[in-house]
A and B are shown apart, each in its own frame.
Chain A
Amino acid sequence: MSKFELTRFPLIKNLLKNRYPQLAVFVLMLAGFLFAITAGFVGTPVGSHNFSIVFVWIAWWAILILVAVPFFGRGWCAVCPIPVVGDWLQRGAVLEPAPKMSKWLNLRVPAKFRNMWMQNISFTLVALFSSVILTTPVVTSVVLAAMLFLSIGLSLVFERRAFCRYLCPVGGFIGLYAQTAPLELRVKDKNVCAHCAGKPCYNGSELGSGCPWDVFPGGLTKNTYCGLCMECLRTCPHDNIAINLRPFSADLAKPSAKLDETFKAFIMLGASLVYAYVLMGSNGSVKLVAYSVFSPAWFGYAAGFLAVIFGILPGLFWLSVKFGAIKTSSPGKQFTTAATALIPLGLMFWVAFSLSFVLTNATYIFAAISDPLGLGWNLFGTAATAWQPMLSSLVAPTQTLALVGGLAWSARTAQKSAPQAGISSVPVIVYCLAATFLMLWLLL
């Protein structure tokens, strides 16, 4: 597999190594983020005319799922404003790296939480309430503010970026899908690392903090947990860190077979199917139910949602794996290894689902940029832009392209991971085909 090192260009390398460009982006992002929180609290309660909803759930979401994750993996995490304030407080500085002795508690996250389960739970919670969060500015602001304060709180109690790594509801699936991205940060030569004294990339030095994401760059084999924060690029004294272009889905060649990550894949796949049915379908009563949180009917909806993501989808997959078993190795390992195929499938389900509302509602962005609070301002003269679906004749063909491409991609992944799982790939591929048929039927 061929790789192309981007950091071989001094311009790219210096731009990434220097702290000022990143700081400038952080400040801009943080300003936008704080403004979105404020807009949700003081602006109009009408979601489609409030900056918080329009910028977070249409603009940001579109960029994240259609561009950032598929092409840059965790690229979003490199500029995300949520952990920035906590980082600054934790280090006691804006630009300087973390001091040797922390002023705060600096605890290690307990081992039983050092996995993706908390992120699975946090995402599921957001998903169950998503109809309200997606449409109500105040609620979006409460969620954004909660993320900000949780990340600050965790930065003061635990070492490194505990929030990003173990709690952020977005971070989990970005990490899962980042494995498919054609971009990676890796060491150039593992031998150099083996003989490197003090491992400053992990332990920190006066040049930068030890890996905030608690990974040892020398051991990186997949993108899931590297936040592309560039600290190791700054600290490595041997110039051994590289950012490479690589083929899509390179990390999936070696399945990681961890149950928390496998369930992340089921949660994402299931949520995209449920959303396609609830939000894009013609059934109005289910929309009302999804919106009426804590009503008896909503509990039924929540139970159905949970049954799909934790019961039906994994259950049917389990059966497919059983059915295709060739070797009698550990069934748990067969299950998690075979589920690698669901990673590209789920990513493309989300791409297809997002296409159905992003282009339709993109005109809200023009209106909201001129009148972010819905108070009748007209900053750029575009406040009166009428709602009008954009490129609507392209939506269905692009969705088909995404779903069929995703299916072929996942079938290919299944063929590669099946021998490692000791199973036949056919039942897994049939599972992916059935899920794709369902998604096509829901969206088209």
Chain B
Amino acid sequence: MRPYAILFLLVLAGLVVAFAPLPAHFSAPVARTFHVEASQFAYQPGEISVNPGDKVTIELVSTDVVHGLYVDGYGVSVKADPGQNATLTFVADKSGSFRLRCNVTCGAMHPFMVGKLNVGANTWLYRSLALASLGIFSVFVLARTTKME
């Protein structure tokens, strides 16, 4: 019975680490514009960071062939012809880290043409690191309790 109680507590701790709401770090939303250059097979800059609530404008310009920019999790996208500017505006109302992906076939490595949008801190990464540590802790605790049985 005892190991089960401990297991229950550990699972509970895991759920808290994974899902407990964090105090919202509030900063007044602003409008931000990013100039992003797309070329085979990268975005420059590769990562953009904004605060939750910001109004984000991405000016996409392609320096070689046609590229796209699709924001994972938001489902919005824009397409830029070579040398032409195209703009995408959206409100960053979901926090976390999201991949930017080219959604116009642009050459061999196209499926791996990715960038990153950080909206606020990458809390899921921190939660995951904490979960990994908790996982190790659990293994030690459970090994000890089952040995005592």
Which partner residue on chain B sits nearest A45 by CB separation? B108
A104 to B104, CA, bound (A): 52
CB distance from A59 to the nearest CB of B (A): 14
In chain A, positions 334-376 with a C-beta closer than 8 Å to chain B are: 357, 360-361
CB distance from B6 to the nearest CB of A (A): 14
Q: Is the CB of B116 within 8 A of A282?
A: yes
Known: A403-B128, A415-B143. A48 touches B115 (CB 8 A): no
Q: Is the CB of B135 within 8 A of A49?
A: no
Q: Is the CB of B136 within 8 A of A136?
A: no
**B27 CB-CB contact with A under 8 Å:** no
B residues within 8 A CB of A48? 105, 110-111
A299 to B127, CA, bound (A): 38
A403 to B128, CA, bound (A): 9
A residues within 8 A CB of B133? 433
Which partner residue on chain A sits nearest B42 by CB separation? A284
1/0 contact string of A400-436 vs chain B (CB within 8 Å): 1001110110011001000000000000010001001
**B129 CB-CB contact with A under 8 Å:** yes
By size class, the interface of chain B is 35 or more
**B114 CB-CB contact with A under 8 Å:** yes
Q: Is the CB of B132 within 8 A of A407?
A: yes
A residues within 8 A CB of B101? 360, 389
Known: A284-B43, A440-B129. A407 touches B135 (CB 8 A): yes
Query: Could you jot down 28 A-B contacts, CB within 8 Å?
Result: A46-B105, A48-B110, A49-B105, A131-B112, A135-B110, A135-B112, A279-B112, A283-B42, A284-B39, A284-B41, A284-B43, A287-B41, A291-B108, A291-B109, A357-B111, A360-B72, A360-B111, A361-B111, A392-B73, A396-B96, A403-B132, A408-B135, A408-B138, A408-B139, A411-B135, A411-B139, A429-B136, A440-B125
Which partner residue on chain B sits nearest A432 by CB separation? B136
CB distance from A17 to the nearest CB of B (A): 41
Which partner residue on chain A sits nearest B122 by CB separation? A444
Q: Is the CB of A404 within 8 A of B108?
A: no
Residue among A285, A396, A408, A433 making CB contact with B124, cutoff 8 Å: A396
**B78 CB-CB contact with A under 8 Å:** no
Chain A: residues with Cβ within 8 Å of the partner, total of 44
Listed in ascending order, the chain B residues whose CB lies under 8 Å from chain A are: 18, 39-44, 46-47, 70, 72-73, 96-97, 101, 103, 105, 108-116, 122, 124-125, 127-129, 131-133, 135-136, 138-140, 143
**A150 CB-CB contact with B under 8 Å:** no
- Please report whether the interface of chain A is mostly helix, strand, loop or mixed according to DSSP: helix
Q: Which of A49, A278, A280, A404 is packed against the most chain B CB atoms within 10 Å?
A: A404
Which partner residue on chain B sits nearest A279 by CB separation? B112
CB distance from A252 to the nearest CB of B (A): 15
**A332 CB-CB contact with B under 8 Å:** no
9 tightest A-B contacts by CB?
A: A284-B42, A282-B46, A135-B108, A408-B135, A411-B139, A400-B128, A444-B125, A279-B112, A404-B135
In chain A, positions 378-403 with a C-beta closer than 8 Å to chain B are: 387, 389, 392-393, 396-397, 400, 403
Known: A415-B139, A444-B124. A433 touches B132 (CB 8 A): yes
- Other 13 A-B pairs with CB < 8 A, given A407-B132, A408-B138, A440-B129: A48-B110, A280-B112, A287-B112, A357-B111, A360-B101, A387-B103, A393-B73, A396-B124, A404-B131, A404-B135, A407-B135, A408-B139, A429-B136
Q: Is the CB of B132 within 8 A of A135?
A: no
**A47 CB-CB contact with B under 8 Å:** yes
Known: A48-B111, A282-B47, A440-B129. A411 touches B136 (CB 8 A): yes
A284 to B40, CA, bound (A): 8
**A294 CB-CB contact with B under 8 Å:** no
**A319 CB-CB contact with B under 8 Å:** no
Q: Is the CB of B41 within 8 A of A440?
A: no
CB distance from B39 to the nearest CB of A (A): 7
Residue among A279, A360, A407 making CB contact with B136, cutoff 8 Å: A407
A414 to B3, CA, bound (A): 20
